[in-house]
Each structure stands twice: as structure tokens, then as C-alpha cells.
Amino acid sequence: MANDHGQRNLTTDVARADAARAAVERALAELRRGSPVMLADPDGNAPAVLVAAAETAEAAVRTLAVAGTVPACVVTAGRAEALGLLPRGRNMTVRPAGESRLVPDASFIAAIAGIEGGTPAADRLAAAPSDQMQDAALELVKLARLVPAAVIARITGDAEGIVRDHDLLTVTTDACARYRDALEDVSLSVATHAPVPLDGAERSEIYAFRPADGGKEHLAIVIGEPEPHEPVLARIHSECFTGDLLGSLRCDCGEQLRGAIRAITEAGGGVLLYLAQEGRGIGLVNKLRAYKLQDEGFDTIEANERLGFEADERVYRPAAAMLRRLGFTKVKLLTNNPAKVEGLSACGIAVIDRVPHAFPANGHNDRYLRTKASRAGHIL
């Protein structure tokens, strides 16, 4: 009986996790297309709120008005500091100062979020530490791969009626927590693999790994026939559309990618992991926004933080999972970044050696490389 009961509990937990994942993924899609969603506390300890992404707020402001309260923006402490506010906690709520019923319009929201346009003067803003519901709202927007700034409005009336009349999706805070826990347990499957001769590495095979959450595929390029029982020469490379494909001179990514393929070939074989983590995990659109801030004088880390992101949003669990699926548990890692060594080691992959992988500045990426060394600890 105990085994049957345990099996029933396991089945129930899996079903709940699957339902939570589906609910959150649908909510993320709604946020990306500009529709608000309702975020509810399943225990009823906090009022439900309508949530929209600041990035798509222009399409959502009218719907947010039906909540019956004045919307507020939720931003990270890094973004609050960029606005000239004193951060108090991990996240902050920001409203127009002065008139209590002043409703922020789409241009004001965009300025608060740092999407486009100038930054409002700090004396025009009123800020306060966020609460648990507001933190969950911001996390939803960030999971949607949008600028981490949410617009929220507390619902004072008939929440179910608002959802019904405006055809809105509902997601609960516990579903968000289950979804977050599921992301911690990386589940990758090999969607397919095929030999692809590369320039300088003709004996190469590309494996496409698909995550269970429906996100972007990661790739593994196996060059030659490396022995699984030996430490494999490996490179973890985050995708960079501008550097890898277009040959951008703002970074050294393209040189690192092609240089890694050459180095692995010359060593007789190895693996290059190509992770779908553009712009140190913030995505291509946000990376371009960060470039504009860099042109205003901020370095790469400052630009990310002013947009509300961490200095580096990358994770290395997918890389470790891919290596294990390919049969490798020990690596000699091509990198200048000690954080990659630490991150991969923390995920159970033994890093036997760090192999330097540096390239000279080109006149356009000098500051970028200096920031890597002085602020991110890269060994250049």
C-alpha cells in the first residue's frame, strides 16, 4: 500500500508541475504579445493584480485601467539606481510623484523601464520597496525574455468578472514557483544530430538539444572522435548573432568561436557547446539596447544593470547536462572566464584544466575587453 500511495503522490506532483508549466508558459506568451494577465495568490492572502510587461504596456494600459487602482511600475534595484532612486530591497515600485491619481502613460512607463527615450528626473518619481506579488509579477516579465520591468494594478472589484469580460489568462504565484523550480532541473533531449563539415573541422557532428520548457535549442558541436573516458577539450560559447554571424568588432565572440574550432581540431578533437544565451543571457534585443547605453559612456556591466539585468545572466546547467548526455564528465575548458570554471564545476563536471583563449583588441572592443578583465575577472 505504501508503494501505491507513494506512486499516487508522485503522479500528482508531476501532474501539478506540468499544469503549472503550461499555465506559466501561456502567460508568458500573452505578456510578449502585449496582453495583461491576472496574477493571483491561491491562498487569498493578497489581492489579485493585473500584470503587463512595461515593454508592451502601450497595448495594455487601457485594460489595466479596469483594475480600479492606479498602476505602478516594478523595476529591479539596478534600474531604480539608474533612475536616481535609493534602492531599498531587491525590487522597487515606481509611480509618478505628486498627484495620487495620476495614471502613468505608455511613454512614462517606457522611460521608467529604460526602453526608449530619456530618464525621468528622480524628483518626479515616488518609489517604495516591492511586495511578494509585485516580485512575482516582475519575475513573470523577465521569464518572458522582456526588459525586466512590470506594470501592475491591484484589482479592487470582481477579479473573475474582469478576467471573463476581457478574456484574460490567470496564473498563480505557486505556479510561478513550480515553474521556477522546474527550470532549476534542466531537462534536455537530443532532438536530432547530423554530420556537418566545418571550415577547418571537416569531421564534425552537430547535436541539437531541446529543453523541456519549449525554449530555444542549444547545440553541441563534436569535432573528431574524443574519448569519453579522457578529459575532453571543450569550449562553452554563448551565441552572439552580431559577432558570430555578422563579424561585429564590438566584441571578440566571432574570433573566440572560430578560434575554438581551430584549437579543438588541432588538439585532435573535442566539443564546442553553443548555448542559446545571447548577450550574456539577456537576449539580442536587449543586447542592442545595452549597446546604445554603452555608446552613452557606460561599460557592458553598467549597461546591463541599468536595463534591470544582472551583469551576467548566463547559467551553466545546460552545458553540464549536454556534456553528460554526450558521455563527458571531465573537461579541459577553453576559457578566460573563471566564472565558467566555477559554474561548470558546481554542476558536477570536473574541470581538469583551464586552457587560455584570448585574442588581441581590434580598436573597437578595447573597452569591452578591459571591462572583462577589470570588472568581470577574466584572465586576459
Which residue numbers are catalytic? 312, 314
Q: Which of 54, 145, 36 is nearest to 105 (CA)?
A: 54
| Ramachandran bin of 193, using left for φ above 0, alpha for ψ from -120 to 50, beta for the remaining angles | beta
From CA 321, how far away is CA 100, in angstroms rounded? 51
Cross-sheet strand order for the sheet of 218-224: 188-195, 204-211, 218-224, 269-275, 232-238, 330-334, 350-355
* CA torsion through residues 91, 96, 102, 103, sign: negative
Q: Pairing relation of β-strands 37-40 and 170-172?
A: parallel
For the chain, the helix, strand and coil percentages under 3-state DSSP, each to the nearest 5: 45, 20, 35
Tell how far CA 72 is from the center of its chain.
Answer: 23
* 3-state SS class at 189: strand
Tell how far CA 28 is from the center of its chain.
Answer: 13
Q: Which helix (H) or strand (E) holds 368?
A: helix 366-375
DSSP notation for 227-265: -TTSPEEEEEEE--IIIIIT--SSSSHHHHHHHHHHHHH
What letter represents residue 195's amino acid?
Answer: P
The radius of gyration of the chain's CA atoms, rounded to the nearest angstrom, is 23
